[in-house]
Amino acid sequence: MTRIAVAGPRGNMGKEAVQLVERTDGFTLAAVIDHRFNQGKMMDAEGMADLDVPVYKDVDSCFTSEKIDVLVDLTNPETGKVHLRKALEHRVRPVVGTTGFSEEDIDELGRLAEEKELGALIAPNFAVGAILLMKFSKMAAAYMEDVEIIEQHHDRKLDAPSGTAMKTAQMIAEVRKEKQQGHPEESEAWAHARGADYEGMKVHSVRLPGRVAHQEVLFGGEGQTLTLRHDSLNRTSFMPGVKLAIEEVQTYTGLVYGLDQLITLEGDQ
Ligand code: NAP
């Protein structure tokens, strides 16, 4: 039985993760971590079923009082970073869906996971379809180097571009022939009209109420275009990936960044 703690259980993602853990054979919800709840109280926040598990205000007290195998963090980048570090220090394997980590954060957390000889996972996107979109985009970029990414999210999202867009751009850059796209003399009458620039490709972030998580990768070539698109229509789309992550993080050592590392396709490089 895998004993799991969920941090951020009142959040949109956290609520789904709590339900996933509760209904999955082989998983036990051992505790939740919520900075607004008094320790020991039952969670009876609006919109949530009462949870018959201990609530902790911080990870340290949770890990010293409970036996936890895996921490699932769905909070915010500052908190997620602290939670990941503390989990490893307490020999708990972290599965972090929180987005907004810098490359330096990821490197530092990776070193800590190696040092502790524990598995850890940071996944900017748990939706299997989004992972496939990233992989297909990388395949296409080997042949079509003109590419722009448009990601769309709800307007409560804190970070931009999305972790998925950043990861997609990084994966594309591994195979794409280097190129500064657009007209060499193009100019912007309004700042950022052409979007963010990553190694010459452009990334655009849309934030609107009503959206969940959507991404298009547009390729252009002589007389042709190719558009790849993925839509997460609700947050249940992320849960099969969370389940896979909880199972897999117990089988390796070191930090894995991205669920794409755990889903292999024929022809993957
Ligand atoms: P959300 O609805 O705002 O939920 C975040 C929750 O974390 C809130 O309940 C918040 O409580 C709580 N929280 C903040 N600080 C905390 C702390 N110190 N201890 C415990 N709980 C704390 O956000 P969301 O939509 O669920 O997203 C959460 C994170 O997951 C974001 O980083 C988002 O970008 C990311 N995300 C990832 C994926 C993926 O597939 N990997 C998909 C969607 C979203 P208060 O509101 O009371 O502060």
Is the minimum distance from the CB of 162 to ligand 1 under 6 angstroms? Answer: no
Query: Ligand 1 centroid to 149 CA: how many Å?
Result: 24
Task: Give, using CA atoms, the residue closest to atom 32 of ligand 1.
Answer: 98
pLDDT score recorded for residue 62: 95
Would the pLDDT of 44 be above 80? no
Residue whose C-alpha is closest to residue 133's, from 153, 120, 150: 150
pLDDT score recorded for residue 36: 85
User: Of the given ranges (50-64, 196-210, 244-258), which has the lowest mean pLDDT?
Assistant: 50-64
CA distance linking residue 167 with residue 261, whole number of Å? 12
Query: Ligand 1 centroid to 206 CA: how many Å?
Result: 19
Give 48's pLDDT tier (boundaries 50, 70, 90): low
Residue count of the chain, please give it: 269
pLDDT score recorded for residue 244: 97
- The residue to mutate among 58, 75, 85, having the most atoms of ligand 1 within 8 angstroms of its beta carbon, is 75
- The residue to mutate among 36, 60, 74, having the most atoms of ligand 1 within 8 angstroms of its beta carbon, is 74
Query: Ligand 1 centroid to 22 CA: how many Å?
Result: 19
Is the minimum distance from the CB of 164 to ligand 1 under 6 angstroms? Answer: no
94-145 pLDDT, tens digit each: 999 998 898 899 999 999 999 999 999 999 899 999 999 999 999 999 999 9
- Overall average pLDDT of the 161-186 stretch: 94
- Overall average pLDDT of the 63-67 stretch: 96
Domains and CATH numbers, the chain: 2-122+236-261 (3.40.50.720), 128-233 (3.30.360.10)
pLDDT score recorded for residue 148: 98
Give 41's pLDDT tier (boundaries 50, 70, 90): low
Is the minimum distance from the CB of 239 to ligand 1 under 6 angstroms? Answer: no
Residue whose C-alpha is closest to residue 80's, from 105, 55, 63: 105
Query: Ligand 1 centroid to 14 CA: how many Å?
Result: 7
Measure Cα distances from 46 to 50, 86, 150, 176 in Å.
Answer: 10, 29, 34, 48
Would the pLDDT of 268 be above 80? no
Question: Catalytic one among 57, 116, 157, 202?
Answer: 157
pLDDT score recorded for residue 38: 67
pLDDT score recorded for residue 37: 75
If one compares 262 and 40, the residue with the highest pLDDT of the two is 262
CA distance linking residue 208 with residue 156, whole number of Å? 9
pLDDT score recorded for residue 42: 60
Question: Catalytic one among 153, 214, 230, 243?
Answer: 153
Query: Ligand 1 centroid to 221 CA: how many Å?
Result: 39
User: Tokens 């502790």 label which residue?
Assistant: 116
Residue whose C-alpha is closest to residue 172's, from 230, 219, 105: 219
CA distance linking residue 53 with residue 3, whole number of Å? 12
Neighbours of 37 (CB within 10 A): 18
Is 153 part of the annotated catalytic residue set? yes
